[in-house]
Amino acid sequence: MAGPALGISLAPFIRSSPTLSKIFTPVANWYAGGSLYRQYGLLYDDLLIEERPDVQKALSRLTPREAYDRAYRIKRASQADVLHAPLPKEQWTKPEEDVRYLLPHVLEVEKEEAERAKWDTLTVTRK
Amino acid sequence: MLASRVCARRFASRSFATVVETGGLKVAAIDSNQPTVSITFLAKAGPRYQPKPGVAHALKNFAYKSTEDRSALGTVRESELYGGVLSSTLSREHLALTAEFLRGDEEFFVDVLASVIASSKYTRHEFEELVLPTIESEVNALHADPATHALELAHALAFRSGLGASLFAAPHTPITAEDVAEFAKTAFSPANLAVLGTGISQSTLSSLVAAALERRTAEAVTPPTTTTSGYFGGESRLETHGTPQTIFIGFGAPGTPAPELAALAAYLDPNPAVKWSRGSSPMLQSPETSVQAVYLPYSDAALVGLLIQGPSVEGVRAASKAAVAALKGTAGVKAEELKAAVSKAKFRMASTADARAGVVEVLGSKVLSGSSETSLETSLSALDKVTASGFAKAATALVKSKSTFVALGDTQALPYADELGL
């Protein structure tokens, strides 16, 4: 999962090892619950730093429905922040609703850019 | 006499190899020792077969986007390294995906085409980022080109559904990437495909195609269907600005195009054989008005007519009057005029088949329709058999039907069909 747009991450390494993931999954769940974004009705991918061309391109690839929902969640969270209080409990994001809707698009864009860089800097050798 | 026999023999030696079935699709190749090779995957996927308006145009522009094997960028860059050219061409009946390249690179380009046919992904973001802008620019180009636009309108009038469907999607088309993927699945089924090669031997092409498609097993699906064409005719007028005044006057004939119609179009063509010289035809009275004969044969119908273009309404009106007179007067053709027209039609057909794109145009549809005779010679000898009485009969039958009349430009001043006596 590690990529320049998403920062350095140990997640793929931890996920590759059954023992490590058994240890870290409860910790990760506790951390996600404790970091309060769910109490403001946000999803984790709403927190990705979006002021970057690759994330902007990924955002442009959301379906109209996904883009609308994202804008709604961010506005609702901003309003809750203005009021200095989390949302009512029934509006909190449930852990199973917290899907990485933007991540696949970001990874796709990164892959495309890496491929472009590869073709741009290719050394051609004659057979 | 001698000249025509020599001619016939030369074409006979250039005739297509027999069509071979490879994994359910038809493969035909001709090798005349040219330095480059072209391979075309021809599918019955023109707008005639599309389930929704504009899907065929979108599919044409979706060619060479990302597949299971390589991305859109990868396809372009890798082909550039080989020095090849990839293109997709849409006609009313067929979609042709063509690769042209140097001898020796056959394996790579057959693989590219096979992967486009069998494993294109049709992703939503590519549709929105790459395909829709191309569609839009092609539609804009159409609106700036009154000749093509007039023929689009003429087809809609003449054949209504089926062949009447436009080659272009609407400017703000509602189709989605899923629609295109669904159409591609049926259109690119093996029974609906033919592979045509030039500069490559039949056996090489067959084995390469078989090897490339073996890795990508396509499920058998029913190919898209269409209805038999009928001819209707009618009148259409469109106000445009800044483009030449354009009038199309034509007639359609349902059924397999008769060779008489090709001869008729050649007979109607007023342009002289020598470049830059002035024709003596009454249609070419005004120096800046151009008149072109249009002959568009399809598998089960044909459209014959005259396309008149010029900057001034008066010139176009005068040329249209002469054009109507010419169309109505074809039945009284003299024997030597008919002979000249037949030679002209034969030369046109042969010189089209000489060019690479012409091979696909002239012979591709024959291969796809399962016809066993794929040589040019039969088409040429059919033209030789055109008689004066047959020609007069075909011409009278043609102009007896309702005309197809399209006017583009200053519609207030351009003549109506009934003013021209149609």
pLDDT at B372 over 70: no
Same fold, B13-214 and B234-420: yes
* Interchain contact, B71 vs A112, CB within 8 Å: yes
Out of A61, A112, A119, name the one closest to residue B77 (CB). A119
Q: pLDDT band at residue B16, thresholds of 50, 70 and 90?
A: low
Task: Give tens-digit pLDDT for B251-262.
Answer: 999 988 899 999
* Interchain contact, B125 vs A124, CB within 8 Å: no
> How confident is the model at residue B17, as a pLDDT?
56
> How confident is the model at residue B370, as a pLDDT?
73
Is any Cβ of chain A less than 8 angstroms from the Cβ of B124?
yes
Quick one: fold of A36-113? Cytochrome Bc1 Complex; Chain F (1.10.1090)
* Interchain contact, B73 vs A115, CB within 8 Å: yes
State what percent of residues in chain B have pLDDT above 90: 63
Out of B71, B81, B124, name the one closest to residue A124 (CB). B81
> How confident is the model at residue B18, as a pLDDT?
64
Q: Which residue has better confidence, B276 or B9?
A: B276
Nearest to B194 by CA among B209, B180, B215: B209
Task: Give tens-digit pLDDT for B264-309.
Answer: 999 999 988 888 888 788 888 888 899 999 999 998 899 999 999 9
Of A1-15, A63-77, B232-246, B340-354, the range with the lowest mean pLDDT is A1-15
Burial class (CB in 10 A: 0-12, 13-18, 19+), B10: exposed
Is any Cβ of chain B less than 8 angstroms from the Cβ of A97?
no
The pTM score is 0.89
Q: pLDDT band at residue B374, thresholds of 50, 70 and 90?
A: low
The top-level CATH class assigned to B234-420 is alpha beta
A-chain CB neighbours of B125 within 8 Å are 60-61, 105, 108
Q: pLDDT band at residue B10, thresholds of 50, 70 and 90?
A: very low
| Distant-in-sequence, close-in-space partners of B213: CB < 8 Å, separation ≥ 6 | B22, B23, B25, B114, B117, B118, B190
The token pair at A112 is 């495309």
Of B36-45, B50-59, B222-231, B318-327, the range with the lowest mean pLDDT is B222-231
> How confident is the model at residue B5, as a pLDDT?
45
Q: How many CA atoms lie less than 13 Å away from B85 in the CB half-sphere?
A: 7
ipTM over 0.85: no
Nearest to B16 by CA among B383, B380, B369, B367: B367
B-chain CB neighbours of A105 within 8 Å are 125
Q: Which of A56, A57, A61 to mutate to test the interface with B (most CBs of B within 10 A)?
A: A61
> How confident is the model at residue B382, as a pLDDT?
86
Q: How far is A70 from chain B (nearest CA, A)?
A: 18
Q: Quick one: average pLDDT of B87-108?
A: 94
Is any Cβ of chain A less than 8 angstroms from the Cβ of B81?
yes
Neighbours of B252 (CB within 10 A): 28
Q: pLDDT band at residue B127, thresholds of 50, 70 and 90?
A: very high
Q: pLDDT band at residue B8, thresholds of 50, 70 and 90?
A: very low
Nearest to B38 by CA among B381, B357, B395, B387: B357
State what percent of residues in chain B have pLDDT above 70: 94
Q: pLDDT band at residue B77, thresholds of 50, 70 and 90?
A: very high
Of B177-191, B231-245, B283-297, B344-358, the range with the lowest mean pLDDT is B344-358
Q: Do the Cβ atoms of B89 and B357 come closer than 8 Å?
A: yes
User: What is the pLDDT of chain B when averaged over all its residues?
Assistant: 88
Q: pLDDT band at residue A4, thresholds of 50, 70 and 90?
A: low
Q: Quick one: average pLDDT of A16-28?
A: 91
Domains of chain B, by residue range, sit at 13-214, 234-420
Q: Do the Cβ atoms of B117 and B97 come closer than 8 Å?
A: yes
Q: Which residue has better confidence, B357 or B112?
A: B112
What residue has token string 């051609």?
A124
Q: What is the Rg, in whole angstroms, of the alpha carbon atoms belonging to chain B?
A: 22
Q: How far is A57 from chain B (nearest CA, A)?
A: 10
Is any Cβ of chain B less than 8 angstroms from the Cβ of A66?
no
Inter-chain CB pairs, A–B, below 8 Å: 18
> How confident is the model at residue B1, as a pLDDT?
40
Task: Give tens-digit pLDDT for B131-189.
Answer: 999 999 999 999 999 999 999 999 999 999 889 999 999 988 899 999 999 999 999 98
Domains of chain A, by residue range, sit at 36-113
CATH of B13-214, one of 3.30.830.10, 3.20.20.70, 3.40.50.720, 3.40.1350.10: 3.30.830.10
Task: Give tens-digit pLDDT for A32-73.
Answer: 888 899 999 999 999 999 999 999 999 999 999 999 999 999
DSSP string, B163-192: GGS-SS--TT----HHHHHHHHHHHTSGGG
Of B17-31, B106-120, B158-172, B177-191, the range with the lowest mean pLDDT is B17-31
* Interchain contact, B74 vs A119, CB within 8 Å: yes
Task: Give tens-digit pLDDT for B330-343.
Answer: 878 888 889 999 99
Q: How far is B81 from chain A (nearest CA, A)?
A: 8
Out of A60, A105, A115, name the one closest to residue B71 (CB). A115
> How confident is the model at residue B216, as a pLDDT?
76
Is any Cβ of chain B less than 8 angstroms from the Cβ of A89?
no
